[in-house]
Amino acid sequence: MVERSEFKTERLILRRWRDSDLEPFAALNSDPDVMEHFPALMTREESDDLVARIESAFPERGFGLWALEVQGAGEFIGFTGLSVPSFDAHFTPAVEVGWRLARSAWGRGYASEAARAALAFGFDPAGLTEIVSFTATTNLRSQAVMRRIGMTHDAADDFDHPRLPAGHRLSRHVLWRITADQWRASRC
Ligand SMILES: CC(C)(COP(=O)(O)OP(=O)(O)OC[C@H]1O[C@@H](n2cnc3c(N)ncnc32)[C@H](O)[C@@H]1OP(=O)(O)O)[C@@H](O)C(=O)NCCC(=O)NCCS
């Protein structure tokens, strides 16, 4: 297993989580703008539990949802990375690339920059053959990141999220994909 606990992009550091991230992470998890496409805002306890679950994946898989920091500023702005969906769907088992940034960090290209680094780790040292990403159909900002990093969408892959009740406003999800071959071709 190849493990990566920290790496840099042009402007960012992707790293393991620190205790000092818990407070700003809880703040973004309780921000209605950030959580618009999630079923509910998170309490401090739920947010801290999520960090514990995220951290527990690293030793098991060698990758995870890395905490994101802006180089120089030392400012925690959210996460980007790779995770394994814990529900069954037509595309699982799979590895997903995902992101969640503080509202103040949107519109700077940080999510796409970090996601490209996560794909590079997933396809090269980690040797994955495909990475997916999914979100509620309404989450156009997230889908714009998927498009920017070279993923493609086929409506035939869309699905109803099994953890949400039928008819929930966020139930319908889009699935985007990129294979290792597509990723390699896009870098030529
Ligand atoms: C989804 C999310 C990460 C997207 O963030 P984002 O900042 O819009 O995405 P990117 O990093 O790709 O940035 C692109 C934007 O930065 C701008 N930008 C500014 N400087 C840039 C630079 N140097 N390089 C690239 N883009 C830059 C682009 O023009 C684009 O702006 P636009 O949105 O006005 O078109 C963010 O909205 C978020 O955290 N949402 C809440 C959580 C969420 O929904 N997560 C996904 C759940 S599945």
Q: Which residues line ligand 1 (CB under 6 A)?
A: 34, 37, 98-101, 106-112, 135, 139, 141-142, 145, 148
What is the pTM for the complete model shown?
0.97
For ligand 1, atom 34, the nearest C-alpha belongs to 107
For ligand 1, atom 37, the nearest C-alpha belongs to 141
Q: What is the pLDDT of residue 107?
A: 98
Which 3-state string (H, E, C) describes the chain?
A: CCCCCEEECCCEEEECCCHHHHHHHHHHHCCCCCCCCCCCCCCHHHHHHHHHHHHHHHHHHCCCEEEEEECCCCEEEEEEEEECCCCCCCCCCCCEEEEEECHHHCCCCHHHHHHHHHHHHHHCCCCCCEEEEEEECCCHHHHHHHHHCCCEECHHHCEECCCCCCCCCCCEEEEEEEEHHHHHHHCC
CA of 1 to the centre of ligand 1 (A): 31
Q: Strand 152-153 vs strand 172-179: parallel, antiparallel, or unpaired?
A: antiparallel
What sign results for the dihedral spanned by CA atoms 115, 117, 120, 125?
Answer: negative
Side-chain-side CA neighbours of 113 within 13 Å: the count stands at: 19
Ligand 1 atom with the shortest distance to the CA of 142: 1
CA of 34 to the centre of ligand 1 (A): 12
CA of 143 to the centre of ligand 1 (A): 10
Q: What is the pLDDT of residue 50?
A: 98
Q: What is the pLDDT of residue 5?
A: 81
Residue among 113, 114, 122, 131 at smallest CA distance from 176: 131
Question: 96: pLDDT confidence band, cut at 50, 70 and 90?
Answer: very high
For ligand 1, atom 16, the nearest C-alpha belongs to 107
172 contacts 137 by C-beta, under 8 angstroms: yes
66 contacts 14 by C-beta, under 8 angstroms: yes
CA of 151 to the centre of ligand 1 (A): 15
Mean pLDDT, residues 2-17: 92
Q: What is the pLDDT of residue 1?
A: 80
Ligand 1 atom with the shortest distance to the CA of 34: 41
CA of 96 to the centre of ligand 1 (A): 18
pLDDT above 70 as % of the chain: 100
80 contacts 92 by C-beta, under 8 angstroms: no
- Does the structure show a pLDDT above 80 at 149? yes
Query: Rg of the chain's alpha carbons, rounded to an integer?
Result: 16
What residue ranges do the domains of the chain occupy?
Answer: 6-186
Question: 187: pLDDT confidence band, cut at 50, 70 and 90?
Answer: confident
Q: Of 3.40.630.30, 3.40.50.300, 3.40.30.10, 3.40.190.10, which CATH number belongs to 6-186?
A: 3.40.630.30
Q: What is the pLDDT of residue 6?
A: 87
For ligand 1, atom 7, the nearest C-alpha belongs to 106
Mean pLDDT, residues 134-155: 98
Residue-wise pLDDT for 27-84, tens only, equals: 999 999 999 999 999 999 999 999 999 999 999 999 999 999 999 999 999 999 999 9
Question: 188: pLDDT confidence band, cut at 50, 70 and 90?
Answer: confident
